[in-house]
Amino acid sequence: MKRYLVVAISIIFFTGPPSIAQIEKSGSLFMYMSEIIESLPGAQGDHYIQPSQDDLMVWSEAISYLVQNDYTKCAEEAFKVNYQLIQFEDTVVNTVFFILEDEGVNFHGTYIYNPAFLLPTVIQSPHPRFDTNTGVQGIHVFLETASMFFCLPGTHRCNQPDLSSCSGTTSVCGPSGPYPISDVAHTVQSFFQETTDVLVRLMDQTVFISLHGFGKQPDDPYLIISNGTRDRPDPDFAYLLGENLVLEDPDLYYEMPHINLSWARLTGFTNTQGRLVNNSMDPCQSNAQYSSGRFIHLEQEKSRLRDDQSGWNKVARAIQNTFNGLSSVPQSEEKGTVSVYPNPAHDFIWFQSHDQVIEQIQIYNTIGQMVYSWPLTSSDGTPVIIPLDKLERGCYYVLYNGKSSVLLKL
């Protein structure tokens, strides 16, 4: 499996080193998730139970603890809403993932966090049982790109006949009318939407890629790429992704509603995750007017991109080529900034504080063991060299002042 390195620094906030999850499993994450996708309830059966507002508050806490690497508290909150937290060691890609898995009570979906992520991308497959192969395509792309997060719903989009109050209509589940509440791309009262909300707020460099499929009509392109609006942001990641997909498949042609302003089919404007990410004042009822640049809605004809692993790899490579080099140093809790370079590193890093006093640096591995600690003798902005030659290759957290953390790839 080919891996790409990303020159990126991501800040993750937590108050201490990560803890151990409540359940441990190992094997192939792709095969594990493929079995979950295959067993998802279908278009009938009313399995999906809409969460209450109290449930959503608990879930928000669980996701917040998860991306802050506090796995004990995440597991405690998840248990309250019939979820288990699984520490999953993928023996194929040699990476540890954390899975929030429904215990089969309310069918709210499966959510996976990669603490050793290389791309700040969130892969979402809202319709895995209706849009053929988008579920397995999603987990494959998530693994190939070393993305940060993967979101999968718990049932077919038509599983529950009760209707969403959000705007937009569909005929995919019967006569044209409102979307069912089990269609997580078109309701705001879901764990899928709440997860998106937490990731938007806590991880401010995340980009959400929503994988869909459609039946191609004679005048349709192979691909419709939307950012959820008619607005063109800078940078325009949706456009760059389209260009990179054409590099992978020169015969592929696409439309973009924010480039071709007359294009009106399958625009993704009513997608509630897109509305949320694009800062709609009311994601349930109102289309976003301006693009944040952080949402990409991919409507894919089946044969070229989602039919098999060859097409999935095209999407994965295009995402890698679009987001490789995406770098930022988000604001820390103290509103200060630091630089750690090079990242990825080899035998050493330079650590430099730009506008705050750093008294100590600690390095933890991904299971919470402190592997090195240094007191800083310089806090006047002068770079400090930190040796790494005794560390094994992998991912680590560089904590400074015991609070903010930089994800470091060796």
What is the residue type of 59?
A: W
Q: Taking 60 as the threshold, does the pLDDT of residue 335 lie above it?
A: no
Q: Do residues 18 and 69 touch, judged by C-beta distance below 8 A?
A: yes
Is the pLDDT at 330 greater than 60? The verdict is: no
pLDDT digits (tens, 9 = 90+) for 191-215: 999 999 999 988 878 999 999 999 9
Q: What percent of the chain has pLDDT over 70?
A: 87
pLDDT score, position 329? 31
pLDDT the model gives residue 345: 74
**Per residue in 272-292, pLDDT tens?**
999 999 999 999 999 999 999
Query: With 0-12 CB in 10 A as exposed, 13-18 as middle and 19+ as buried, what is 350?
Result: middle
What pLDDT sits at residue 9?
36
Query: How far is residue 298's CA from residue 126's CA, in Å, rounded to a whole number?
Result: 11
pLDDT at 403: 60
Residue found under tokens 């969403």: 164
Tokens 């897109």: give the residue. 274
Residue 21's pLDDT band (cuts 50, 70, 90): low
Q: Is the pLDDT of residue 30 over 60?
A: yes
Q: What is the β-pairing status of strands 147-152 and 119-124?
A: parallel
DSSP string for 39-75:
TS--SSS----PPPHHHHHHHHHHHHHHHTT-HHHHH
- Tokens for 390, please give them: 């005794």
- CA dist 20 and 98 (Å) reads 10
Given pLDDT bands bounded at 50, 70 and 90, which one contains residue 104? confident
Mean pLDDT across 139-150: 96
Single pTM value for the model: 0.77
**In this structure, are residues 12 and 75 in contact, taking their beta carbons and an 8 Å threshold?**
no
Q: Which residue has the tokens 């020159």?
A: 7
Q: Give the pLDDT of residue 325.
A: 53
Is the separation of the CB atoms in 137 and 306 below 8 Å?
yes
pLDDT, residue 12, reads: 40
In this predicted structure, what is the pLDDT of residue 404? Answer: 63
Q: What is the pLDDT of residue 118?
A: 85
Beta-carbon contacts of residue 315 (< 8 Å; ≥ 6 apart): 137, 141, 211, 245, 298, 305
pLDDT value at residue 402: 63
Of 285-289, 294-298, 358-362, the range with the lowest mean pLDDT is 358-362
Sequence-distant (6+) residues with CB within 8 A of 264 are: 257
Task: Name the pLDDT band for 297 (thresholds 50, 70, 90).
Answer: very high
pLDDT, average across residues 103-116: 93
Instruction: Tell me if residue 78 falls in helix, strand or coil.
Output: helix
Amino acid type, 13: F
In this structure, are strands 223-226 and 110-113 parallel, antiparallel, or unpaired?
unpaired
Average pLDDT, the chain: 86
DSSP letter for 180, please. Answer: B
Can you tell me the distance from the alpha carbon of 352 to that of 383, in angstroms, rounded to the nearest whole number?
4
State yes or no: pLDDT of 2 exceeds 90. Answer: no
Stretch 373-399: mean pLDDT:
73
The answer to whether residue 77 scores a pLDDT higher than 90 is yes
Alpha carbon of residue 245 to chain centroid = 20
Which residues make Cβ contacts (< 8 Å) with residue 147, sequence separation at least 6? 114, 117, 118, 119, 121, 122, 123, 141, 319
pLDDT at 13: 39
CB of 8 within 8 A of CB of 120?
yes
What is the model's pLDDT at position 108? 97
240-264 pLDDT, tens digit each: 999 999 999 999 999 999 999 999 9
Ramachandran bin of 384, using left for φ above 0, alpha for ψ from -120 to 50, beta for the remaining angles = beta
